């Protein structure tokens, strides 16, 4: 008897498929619950604010949800980064911190886990993902190089540019279409990759940048077949593949659910297979691995590792802690193992899908299919009367906070920044508001509150106007920019 859990597109529910191989019988049972494989041991009270309070708070924050104080937020869906709940085992791991300056045993535990679950040869710990991006970019990128990748991410692209490179988007066109139901919107269009190789030459491409899953596209997965095809094409030209593995286990879960041939493989096995198709990785462990802080660079090449070990001591810390405390490395090692458990992933993604389905049922425009770490509201379709230069997604995020104290994040023109050469705004096709779900933190009732609030704002959408930017920082402007209502 084989038991498989699949997401049923028709019903929008997870279902159990029971295969009785001996008698050749397949039974499909709709499973209404993706219930969590844990129970709650400790709670953290949150602030239930009034409308008057929220009006003041968001105005003071320049209508930028990044500038809100967390004490003024009810349900915090700004990010799933560093905001997940650690398990009792991870907390116990903190007590096992070995805070020796050099050679902490927690580093070696982490190294063992990374070898076993991800398979990379060398580990360089960093304080978080962007620390690893900085190191790999400075080592591998030269002035005039190009970096093809499956859609940009803010910090990744900035580090590539600061090292003298230019990012080129080679993701499939479906990724830019919020209504396309393609299941693997994180895939690379191989013709686009070939064109970049033909135009610039392989020697101008230090590596192809591949993210599992693709954050800016809505948390969309890449398929294993596409990964294999990328590997085959890059191998032909001797080009490396560097993997942004920030949400690799979530990607593995989607492969298990939706790619032929993977239904009976575990998330752990699929995760390992994905990593094995790449040459190295940057990781923000604040996501999949459910720690509050931490990250790493992992690399198979001995020479790059040698350089990275030289650099980490300048920018992060000694090569056996890289900006983390020993206890953080221990919690990360335990979190990595928890992150690849099938039960955990079914509940994690199940909760995201639950919220997504409620919004789809209400007719709210969101990126479809629903991804793994959050719901992305399509602000262009939500507020069609607000032109992109009036920051529809920024406006919508502020309105949602005003309505209920739910904090979301802009992922549109403000996040896309300005064109390096012309100084004009980059106008991305996707103008989104991200409702990001921290892992193991909120309940189904919280998701209902979020859905109701989005629905209320949607019903009032005609009364919402755009905003103008009144303060703009030079780098990663979305973090600190300020706005006024029009």
CB of 211 to ligand P61, least distance (A): 5
Whether the link from the prior residue into 369 is cis, omega within 30° of 0, is yes
CB of 448 to ligand P61, least distance (A): 23
CB of 443 to ligand P61, least distance (A): 21
Neighbours of 47 (CB within 10 A): 12
Contact between residue 127 and residue 323 where contact means Cβ atoms under 8 Å apart = yes
Binding residues for ligand P61, rule CB under 6 A, total 17
Enzyme catalytic residues = 101, 153-154, 244, 287, 411, 478
Residues from 263 through 302 that contact ligand P61 (CB under 6 A): 284, 286, 295
Q: Report the alpha-carbon distance of residue 445 to residue 449 in Å, rounded.
A: 6
Angle at 171 between CA 84 and CA 224, to 5 degrees: 70
Closest residue to bound ligand P61 by CB: 129
Q: Which is nearer to ligand P61, 194 or 292 (CB)?
A: 292
Applying CB under 6 A, which of residues 76, 145, 174, 244 lies at the interface with ligand P61?
244
Q: Which part of the chain contacts ligand P61 (CB under 6 A), choosing from 88-96, 154-162, 334-342, 363-371?
A: 154-162
In sequence order, what are the beta bridge partners of 280? Answer: 242, 299
Residues from 312 through 331 that contact ligand P61 (CB under 6 A): none
Angle at 395 between CA 389 and CA 398, to 5 degrees: 155
Contact between residue 28 and residue 9 where contact means Cβ atoms under 8 Å apart = no
Q: Which part of the chain contacts ligand P61 (CB under 6 A), choosing from 31-39, 148-156, 269-277, 344-352?
A: 148-156
Contact between residue 278 and residue 247 where contact means Cβ atoms under 8 Å apart = no
Between the CA atoms of 201, 206, 209 and 210, what dihedral angle is there, to the nearest 10 degrees?
90
CB of 53 to ligand P61, least distance (A): 25
Applying CB under 6 A, which of residues 128, 256, 372, 394 lies at the interface with ligand P61?
128
Applying CB under 6 A, which of residues 156, 251, 351, 395 lies at the interface with ligand P61?
156
Q: Which is nearer to ligand P61, 288 or 378 (CB)?
A: 288
Q: Report the alpha-carbon distance of residue 10 to residue 224 in Å, rounded.
A: 24
CB of 153 to ligand P61, least distance (A): 5
DSSP state of 173: G
Q: Which is nearer to ligand P61, 80 or 378 (CB)?
A: 80
CB crowding 361-396: b at 16 or more within 10 Å, else e: eeebbbbbbbbbbbbbbbbbebbeebebebbbbbbb
Q: Which helix (H) or strand (E) holds 392?
A: helix 392-404
Residue 387 phi, psi (nearest 5):
-70, 160
Nearest CA to 187 out of 225, 140, 146, 237 is that of: 225
Q: Which is nearer to ligand P61, 328 or 458 (CB)?
A: 328
CB of 215 to ligand P61, least distance (A): 4
Applying CB under 6 A, which of residues 215, 226, 339, 394 lies at the interface with ligand P61?
215
Residues from 61 through 120 that contact ligand P61 (CB under 6 A): 79, 81
Q: Which part of the chain contacts ligand P61 (CB under 6 A), choosing from 47-55, 134-142, 151-159, 379-387?
A: 151-159
At 461, list the tokens. 């959408």
Q: Which residues bind ligand P61 (CB under 6 A)?
A: 79, 81, 128-130, 153-156, 211, 215, 244, 246, 284, 286, 295, 409
């Amino acid at each position: 008897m084989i038991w498989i859990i699949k997401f049923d597109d028709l019903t929008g529910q997870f279902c159990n498929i029971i295969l009785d191989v001996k008698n050749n019988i397949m039974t499909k049972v709709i499973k209404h619950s993706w219930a969590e494989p844990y129970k709650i041991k400790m709670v953290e009270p949150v602030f239930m604010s009034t409308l008057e309070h929220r009006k003041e708070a968001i105005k003071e924050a320049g209508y930028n949800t990044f500038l809100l104080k967390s004490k003024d937020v009810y349900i915090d869906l700004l990010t799933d980064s560093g905001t997940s709940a650690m398990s009792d085992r991870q907390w116990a791991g903190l007590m096992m911190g070995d805070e020796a300056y050099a050679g902490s045993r927690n580093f070696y535990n982490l190294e063992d886990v990374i070898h076993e679950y991800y398979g990379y040869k060398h580990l360089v710990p960093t304080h978080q993902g962007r620390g690893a991006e900085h190191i790999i970019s400075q080592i591998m990128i030269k002035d005039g190089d190009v970096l093809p990748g499956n859609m940009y991410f803010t910090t990744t692209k900035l580090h590539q540019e600061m090292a003298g490179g230019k990012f080129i988007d080679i993701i499939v066109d479906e990724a830019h279409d919020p209504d396309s139901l393609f299941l693997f919107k994180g895939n690379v269009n191989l013709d686009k990759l070939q064109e970049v190789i033909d135009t610039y030459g392989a020697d101008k491409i230090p590596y192809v940048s591949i993210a599992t899953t693709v954050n800016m596209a809505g948390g969309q997965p890449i398929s294993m077949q596409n990964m294999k095809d990328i590997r085959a094409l890059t191998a032909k030209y001797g080009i490396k593949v560097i993997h942004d593995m920030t949400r690799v286990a979530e990607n593995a879960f989607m492969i298990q659910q939706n790619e032929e041939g993977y239904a009976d493989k575990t998330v752990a096995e699929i995760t390992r297979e994905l990593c094995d198709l790449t040459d190295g990785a940057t990781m923000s462990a604040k996501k999949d691995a459910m720690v509050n802080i931490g990250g790493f660079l992992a690399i198979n090449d001995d020479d790059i590792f040698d350089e990275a070990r030289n650099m980490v001591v300048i920018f992060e810390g000694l090569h056996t802690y890289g900006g983390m405390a020993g206890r953080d490395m221990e919690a990360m090692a335990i979190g990595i193992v928890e992150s690849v458990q099938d039960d955990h992933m079914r509940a994690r993604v199940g909760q995201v899908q639950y919220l997504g389905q409620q919004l789809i049922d209400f007719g709210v425009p969101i990126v479809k299919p629903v991804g793994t770490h959050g719901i992305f509201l399509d602000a262009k379709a939500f507020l069609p009367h607000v032109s992109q230069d009036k920051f529809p997604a920024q406006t919508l995020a502020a309105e949602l906070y005003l309505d209920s104290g739910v904090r979301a994040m802009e992922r549109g023109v403000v996040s896309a920044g300005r064109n390096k050469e012309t100084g004009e705004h980059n106008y991305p096709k996707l103008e989104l508001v991200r409702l990001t779900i921290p892992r193991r933190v909120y309940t189904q009732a919280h998701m209902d509150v979020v859905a109701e609030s989005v629905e209320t704002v949607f019903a009032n959408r005609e009364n919402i106007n755009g905003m103008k930017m009144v303060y703009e920082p030079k780098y990663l402007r979305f973090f600190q920019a300020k706005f006024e209502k029009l």
